[in-house]
Chains A and B, each alone.
Chain A
Amino acid sequence: MSIPSDLKYTKSHEWTRLEADGTVTVGITHHAQELLGDMVYVETPAVGRQLAAGEECAVVESVKAASDVYAPLAGEVIAVNAEVVDAPEKINQDAYAAWMFKIKPGNPADLDGLLAAAAYQALVESEAH
């Protein structure tokens, strides 16, 4: 339930969703928000910014700690979610609805390099031990 099978994931706990128009929506996983606790601040990348894969491009801060968000794949930022900037607690309420930004991938095949739900599940479980 907390790791939807139709999404792809990163080792740094971002989720990605390939949209019908070829763009990729990005957020942080349910597991990540659970580790961080109550969210109080979100900083999104500037629209138009060119991201390299793995680049620090956004920040989430909970009461407890600040955490960087990394670009899951290379591409241009084409939209950001102002709603989570105004109400960071939306990430706690539903991490997969509270997307942070959308990328137009430079190379759509890059998505294949990301983790499927089962692999991400295994990663989360291995980190718990």
Chain B
Amino acid sequence: MLKQTPLNQTHRDMGARMVDFGGWDMPVNYGSQIEEHHQVRRAAGMFDVCHMLVVDVTGSGIREFLQYLLANNVDKLKEPGKALYSCMLNPAGGVIDDLIVYFMREDWFRIVVNAGTADKDVAWMEQQLAARAPQLTIQPRRDLAMIAVQGPQAREKVWQAIPAARAATEFLKPFQAAEFDQYFIGRTGYTGEDGFEIMLPVSEAAGLWKTLNTLGVAPIGLGARDTLRLEAGMNLYGQDMDEDVNPLEAGLAWTVELASPRDFIGKPALLAKTVKMQMLGLVLLDKGVLRGHQKVVTSHGAGEITSGSFSPTLNLSIAFARLPLAVAVGDVVQVEIRDKLHNAKVVKLPFARNGKALI
């Protein structure tokens, strides 16, 4: 039996094609995935992200605990509402999950984790907490729904749908959140566009979804969510990194804070490893479509594509690839597609941001 979000019936009513996404019955598109992609880059679209899990951590001494639990350093979070993207590593330095942590008060931090890893994440957090900070409480918030509204018009549409949101969120900087009434709104997302992620009570989700739709915000399925995040150079857990992947070889070095003397889970293992690979972008120069697990042939050794698809913004195929360190931006490498080698150019990530192609 697939799990359903509070918006399940609403998706069906809007003509969504539903698929099994890691045990959740989710909309993959509502017609054309390419049109949905453009809608987000050009105007505004909304995503059901209720399958992701909100976890509240409360008590005294959270900051110290999270500095140990997470590879990025929550000490960077000074202002209430500020958010940080981080990996949670295992002792071997592999990635248990990637997440966003919001600092609300010294006795309340909010974490949002991936759907597929949610149970594992909570179990891991509880285990660490029992050992190091038993005074803290971890509370999964399945009572909260989450809707992401993304695109150049996203914030304006949200303010029309929730008039009280304007005053509360107008001055939020990227990666900052505010709580008011029954809402928690962060200026975050997974598309490379401006916008909000809105947490609200489950009972309010369908109402907000329909109001936004009336205002011209198109529903966007997981298909376009994938091409948007790929263009934006954002990793997908389970594809671009997992428990067997070193984050320093997955384009996540910027999220692993190694400069301070603090200890964190996975740090000794990371420091003991030699980084041999790097994550870079590929643009296919021939016809075809790059896909995950395709082999990459370079003059410095073999690599592999971790995520690949067709980019609606660039109108050609793009990918993330794990490549030997000596490969440089601008090099031409070859990708094996159905036993044939095709030329691809190595590029810097991201491919697109804020409606514009960067390649």
Contact = CB atoms under 8 A, between A and B. Distances in A.
A64 B288 contact: no
Interface stretch (B25-33, B113-121, B145-153, B207-215): B25-33
Q: Size range of the interface on A? A: 10 to 19
A58 B14 CA distance: 34
A69 B34 CA distance: 23
B186 interface: no
B291 A66 contact: yes
A64 B34 CA distance: 10
A63 interface: yes
Interface in B1-54: 17, 28-29, 32-34
B80 interface: no
Interface in B39-73: none
A76 interface: no
A38 B338 contact: no
B350 interface: no
A61 B289 contact: yes
A64 B28 contact: yes
What secondary structure prevails in chain B residues at the interface with A?
mixed
Interface string B294-334: 00000000000000011010000100000000000000000
Given A37-B28, A38-B32, A38-B34, A63 B227 contact: yes
A41 interface: yes
A40 B29 CA distance: 16
B309 A63 contact: yes
A18 interface: no
A41 B288 contact: yes
Interface in A56-72: 59, 61, 63-64, 66
Contacts of A37: 17, 28-29, 32-33, 223
Given A37-B28, A37-B29, A61 B288 contact: yes
Contacts of B33: 37-38, 63-64
Given A37-B223, A38-B33, A41-B288, A59 B312 contact: no
B287 A41 contact: yes
B29 A41 contact: no
- In this complex, which of B33, B223, B309, B310 has the most chain A Cβ atoms within 10 angstroms of its Cβ? B310
A63 B34 CA distance: 8
A22 to B, nearest CB: 32
Interface string A30-65: 000010011011010000000000000001010110
A37 B28 CA distance: 10
A64 B291 contact: no
Contact of A59 (B28, B227, B338): B338
Contacts of A40: 289, 310, 317
B177 to A, nearest CB: 32
Contacts of B223: 37, 63-64
A120 B59 CA distance: 61
A64 B346 CA distance: 22
A66 B32 contact: no
Contacts of B227: 63
Contacts of A92: 32
Interface string B268-289: 0000000000000000000111
A79 to B, nearest CB: 20
A34 B18 CA distance: 12
Contacts of B34: 38, 63
B223 to A, nearest CB: 6
Contacts of A43: 288
B289 A66 contact: yes
B291 A63 contact: no
B287 A63 contact: no
B289 A41 contact: yes
A18 B317 CA distance: 36
A47 B329 CA distance: 39
A104 to B, nearest CB: 26
A38 B310 CA distance: 10
A45 to B, nearest CB: 13
B219 to A, nearest CB: 15
A33 to B, nearest CB: 11
18 contacts: A37-B28, A37-B29, A37-B33, A37-B223, A38-B33, A41-B289, A41-B317, A61-B288, A61-B310, A63-B33, A63-B34, A63-B223, A63-B227, A63-B309, A64-B33, A64-B223, A64-B309, A66-B289
User: Which 4 A-B residue pairs are closest in the complex by CB-CB distance?
Assistant: A40-B310, A61-B289, A38-B34, A63-B310
